[in-house]
Structure 1
Amino acid sequence: MTFKISRNGRRGLSRRRLLSAAGAGAISALAMPYLSRAADRPVVTSGLQSGDVGADGGVVWARADRPSQMLVEVATSESFANARMLPPIAALPETDFTAKMLLENLPAGQQIFYRVRFRDLAHIGIESEAVVGRFRTAPADRRDVSFVWGGDVAGQGWGINPDDDGMFTFATMRKHRPDFLLHSGDTVYADGPIKDEVTLADGNIWKNVTTPEKSKVAETLDEFRAAHKYNFMDEHLRAFNAEVPVLVQWDDHEVTNNWSLSKELPASYKERNITLLAARAARAFHEMYPMRESIVEPGRVYRVLNYGPHLDVFMLDERSYRGANGPNQETVYGPGSFFLGPAQLAWLKRALLNSRATWKVIASDMPLSIIVYDDAPNKKGSEAVAQGDGPPRGRELEIADLLRFIKTSGVVNTVWLTADVHYAAAHYYNPDKAQFGEFDPFWEFVAGPLHAGTFGPNDLDNTFGPEVKFIKAPGPGNQNLPPSAGMQFFGHVRIDGATGQITITLRDRADVALWSTTLDPKPV
């Protein structure tokens, strides 16, 4: 990647690279000559995104640089023959000039092309260049389905490094032409400043692209927004977003590390109110991603995405409704042991029971049995589900209740996908080896980071009988490896349309298949 230094000393994309990215549909024509008499046209600043795609449509997203109207055309061919123009949507300062629109009444299983322009509200005759994106609607028939998953982007100070080809894992995932990305959370590290340079263990220098807002922890609404916009600066991420829909959930770093109601913020924060920080972070999160928003509970993250006869994806929110991080050793279920919370847990049970899809993928932003401490240096407190060996207690009570329900209700073919711990693993949950055995065997697969430091492995809790079938992690004494070390991981899932078999493959950023398994479905 070639960059240039502007007069103010900041790095910028070269004209040649910029035009190349624009040709991939990733960004608007920032470097193109103006085609109207206007001296200053609106700009599509952060590429395009689509998301929450179903059989009849999906959400599209873009951001302008000023008060504008987003104009969207939709078609089933790249030529935009017989394109349909949709009513304009306002992009105002109140939403940081972002706008998103649900495209409806589209044909199932079809490649959809959409074209976005912004019209300047101050000069209604002046419009931006058009930017084109695409996505594929979910099938109505039993065709093959393919998707990728992972989490953890721009963490531990590892930002966009031109010398390491930026967020290269997104380019690798894009080559698979997946139907969508399941983003398992930690979409940003709002608590992680990005410095100009980081000295590596071997003495080499990692050089980041930087912005003023990412030089500190995010506290204001604009700083939380800037954390997301920083990631959109990467050319591989923009190119990926223009072609692959994202199903997104959040975890802790969209706010701050290990946040819960009991969070004591470090001295780097001037804003001491964790609830206020979380509210600002949630608003920025919802502004910056193409989610189908709930009218029942505005700002709700948990939802189910139906992707054809073979697949339903159950997106969980294990952050918003949890009790305070702490010992979590309760033996009787109550507020202190909430993880999903009663309302979300009841919703998940209903949704699983009503699903007629072959496979039920449970998208969990945290693993079930990997021990994650709230106070990692001192190995104290609970951040995730696992509470240590033995019968269920604390947050494990919810999972035990859910697993028992799945078994007794006859729900079959559940697979858990997660990220969070910054290494790759495959876990088989065996009731014969569990302290709590009232469940049918199932698999959990861990992928990530997509672009962050690599850690692990962590200890496993034996409550639900996890067996490690595969693990790739740096090991003790070799933690927080940079992306340039190559240990960046994503998962790839393929469902065979004819047989219904599901194949899960764990890959690294060089696209090496590290481990794979194929599962046969039980009759639904």
Structure 2
Amino acid sequence: MTRLYKPSRRAVLAGGTAFAASLAMPAISRASSRPIFTHGVQSGDVDVSGGMIWTRTDRPARVMMEVSTTESFADTRHLAPIDAVPSRDLAVKRLVEGLPSDQDIFYRFVAADLQDVNSVSEPIIGRFRTAPAARRDVRFVWSGDTAGQGWGIDADGMATYATMARHQPDFFIHSGDTIYADGAMEDEVALADGSIWKNTVLIDEKRKVAETLDEFRGQWKYNMMDDHVREMNAIVPTYYQWDDHEVVNNWSASKDLTADDRYTEKSVALLQSRAAQAFHEMSPIRFTPQEPGRVYRKIGYGPMLDVFFLDLRSYRGANTENVQESVSDATRILGQEQMAWLKRELAQSQATWKVIASDMPLGLVVRDGDTKFEAVANADDGAAKGREMEIAELLRFIKTANITNTVWFTADVHYTAAHYYDPNKAQFQDFEPFWEFVSGPLHAGTFGPNALDGTFGPELKFVKAPTEEQGVNLPPSAGLQFFGLVDIDGATQQMTVRLMDRADTELWSVTLDPMQAAI
């Protein structure tokens, strides 16, 4: 079933061709006598009564904003303007609150040149739907890994975004590696079959690794030069996470760039600070007043769904051999504050389904070199050690607190899989069974499959990854680009998870029945 929004003729006329402009605008600003919106619009972190909206101009400008429940903007509500200024790279975003639930919301931006207030842009329009206050069908998609391993915008563009948009999901979870700041690109790449991959769109910021703030910003702007990305952004809210490639591959306190000749800036902490600023400027992630740079958060999407977005990057100890037998700062991956927040929010959740959106998988072995580990698992199949101890603590809490219907969604490993965690097959057994679903890449090299660690008893139910004959780092043109499609039925509250590929082929699916909490 296709539910893709298409603006009516009335909407196009009312918006001064605005919505059409948001779908077919130039990827980068051209010389103009009046302001131009350079990279489309985005919305994100939408809940029952509000959401974030975002855009960017080509010059310092005062950006006027309005929202409406009709595509004609007959009932328009004007918001206070925000100035697009160089200190924020001319990007503006705001939280729109006080919106009706389960309602299509149209938002419109108009920019006036700060040097000439009579020089006014054409309007640009986006759309999202607020979460329901009562039960109804809910659909979302998730995946990760955009523009990695040197595979940039080719003649087909980032086609997986177009495939996802055709399902018109309520929202999209980008599970991390939203950019590849450490992934310099070339104009052409020779493929194994003798053909040539051509990055038909490149900018200077993508020809080297990102070190300066402007270079990190450029990584984001590059992705939004793709037609498919901008078209989906205009109609589907995105809920962003981050992982390592937003900064540098496998970054933690142990990351050492001394011998990496690509970098003149060797401080990973400084690179992280610049990357975090660009992440928050260029995405419609909500502000957290108590901790402005915070990525972990909860979004309530009506009575059937709460989504808990984890940050396994910012609070971790250094990557090590990951076999410590006692808890310390060295074994943290969530960190004490995030763990306390997650326990509290899970315990308070009244939603049927508690989706835990994790930027890294739990049971898959992800290495950092020959002896260190990047994710949770340590490949010893034994009792919980290292970072596994923190996850064991969380799983034990979920069981003890009688928290039902937790499902994990993740990306990172560049293939798709379904894992069922069974305490009867685990070394650590003090938890209730749960599912973990893996998807990606969106537009990056395809790898895998990774080994599973037996500590938490994961059972492989499905996997789609390159064969040994195909090799690794397959380009997007090979077709092994993946996303997940999730439907929650408003009547039965069942959750159906489908693993999909770029061609929109359903590879595997499962329908989960909601459990009732014990009294």
TM-align CA RMSD: 1.7
Task: Name 2:235's counterpart in structure 1.
Answer: 243
Correspondence for 1:509 among 490, 493, 502: 502
Change (3 A) 1:77 1:22: closer
Q: 1:73 Cα deviation (Å)?
A: 1.2
- Alignment pair present for 1:172 and 2:169: no
Q: Which runs of 5+ in 1 are unaligned?
A: 1-18
Q: Is the 8 A contact 1:24 1:239 kept in 2?
A: no
Give yes or no for contact 1:21–1:235 (8 Å, CA) kept in 2.
no
- Indicate if the aligned counterparts of 2:316 and 2:335 stay in contact, CA closer than 8 A: yes
In 2, Cα distance between the equivalents of 1:100 and 1:116? 11
Among 374, 377, 383, the residue aligned to 1:386: 377
- Within 5 Å, give how 1:306-455 maps onto structure 2: 306-375=300-369, 378=370, 380-388=371-379, 389-455=381-447
State the SS of the aligned residue for 2:98: coil
The residue correspondences of 1:470-489 to structure 2 (distance < 5 A) are 470-476=462-468, 478-489=471-482
Report whether the alignment pairs 1:79 with 2:76. no
Q: State whether structure 2 residue 16 is matched by structure 1 residue 25.
A: no
Q: Is residue 2:183 matched to residue 1:186?
A: no
Q: Is the 8 A contact 1:416 1:444 kept in 2?
A: yes
Residue 205 (structure 1) aligns with: 196
Taking the aligned partners of 1:23 and 1:95, their CA distance within structure 2 comes to: 27
SS in 1 for 2:354: strand
- Give, in angstroms, the shift of residue 387 of structure 1: 1.0
Cα deviation per residue 1:390-433 (whole Å; 9 max; x = unaligned)?
A: 00000000100000000000000000000000000000000000
SS at match of 2:294: coil
The AA in structure 2 aligned to 1:191 is D
In structure 2, distance between residues paired with 1:449 and 1:88: 37
In 1, distance between residues paired with 2:319 and 2:159? 34
The verdict on how the C-alpha distance between 1:282 and 1:29 changes in structure 2, with shifts beyond 3 A counting, is closer
Q: Find the residue that maps to 1:86 and give its secondary structure.
A: strand
8 Å contact kept, 1:27–1:44: no
Which residue of the partner structure matches residue 273 of structure 1? 267
Residues 1:515 and 1:290: Cα distance change in structure 2 (over 3 Å): same
The residue identity in structure 1 corresponding to 2:212 is T
Distance in 2 between residues matched to 1:476 and 1:412, nearest whole Å = 39
Amino acid at match of 2:481: Q
Preserved CA contact (<8 Å) 1:252 1:319: yes
Query: Which runs of at least 4 in structure 1 moved beyond 4 Å after TM superposition?
Result: 19-22, 27-34
What letter is aligned with 1:188? I
Residue type of the alignment partner of 1:397? M
Once the two structures are superposed, the pairs formed by residues 118-267 of structure 1 within 5 Å of their partners are 118-162=111-155, 165-208=156-199, 209-265=201-257, 266-267=260-261
Question: Which of 87, 91, 112 pairs up with 1:94?
Answer: 87
Contact 1:322/1:338 (CA < 8 Å) preserved in 2? yes
- 1:271 & 1:232 partners in 2: Cα distance? 26
Are 1:496 and 2:489 counterparts? yes
Matches of 1:314 and 1:487, distance apart in 2: 28
Judging changes above 3 Å, is the alpha-carbon distance between structure 1 residues 114 and 369 closer, same or farther for their aligned structure 2 residues?
same
Matched residues, percent identical? 61
**In structure 2, distance between residues paired with 1:187 and 1:298:** 19
Q: 1:328 to 1:82 in 2, by over 3 A?
A: same
User: Match of 1:68?
Assistant: 61
How far, CA to CA, are the matches of 1:476 and 1:344 in structure 2? 39
Equivalent-residue separation in structure 1 for 2:230 and 2:351 (angstroms)? 31
Question: 1:25, 1:131 within 8 Å by CA — same for their partners in 2?
Answer: yes
Alignment of 1:276-315 (within 5 A): 276-315=270-309
Change (3 A) 1:277 1:32: closer
Partners of 1:404 and 1:495 in 2: CA distance = 26
**Contact 1:183 1:248 (8 Å CA) reproduced:** yes
Shift of the alpha carbon at 1:476?
A: 3.3
Contact kept in structure 2, 1:403 and 1:438, CA below 8 Å: yes
Alignment partners' CA distance in 1, 2:373 and 2:125: 45
C-alpha spacing 1:121/1:359, structure 2 compared with 1 (3 Å): same
Residues 322, 372 of structure 2: 8 Å contact kept:
yes
Per-residue deviation, 1:30: 8.3
- Aligned pair in 2 of structure 1 residues 430, 125: CA closer, same or farther (>3 Å)? same
Q: Distance in 2 between matches of 1:385 and 1:49?
A: 32
Native 8 Å contact 2:91 2:282 kept in 1: yes
Task: Sort the Cα spacing of 1:282 and 1:354 in 2 relative to 1 into closer, same or farther, 3 A.
Answer: same
In structure 2, stretches of 5+ residues that fail to align are 1-15
Residue type at the aligned position of 2:61: S
1:112 and 2:128 correspond = no
Distance in 1, matches of 2:211 and 2:17, equals 35
Per the TM alignment, residue 91 of structure 1 is displaced from its structure 2 partner at its CA by 1.1
Aligned to 1:45, what secondary structure does the other structure show? strand
What letter corresponds to residue 159 of structure 1 in structure 2? G
Q: Deviations over 1:299-322 (max 9, x none)?
A: 000000000000000000000000
The letter for the 2-side match of 1:130 is P
Equivalent-residue separation in structure 1 for 2:20 and 2:27 (angstroms) = 12
Instruction: Check conservation: 2:439, 2:499, Cα contact below 8 A.
Output: yes
Tell me, yes or no, if the aligned pair for 1:27 and 1:48 is still in contact at 8 Å: no
Letter in structure 2 aligned against 1:270: T
Shift of 1:475: 2.9
1:461 counterpart = 2:458: no
Q: Is the 8 A contact 1:386 1:461 kept in 2?
A: yes
Q: Deviations over 1:428-460 (max 9, x none)?
A: 000000000000000000000000000000111
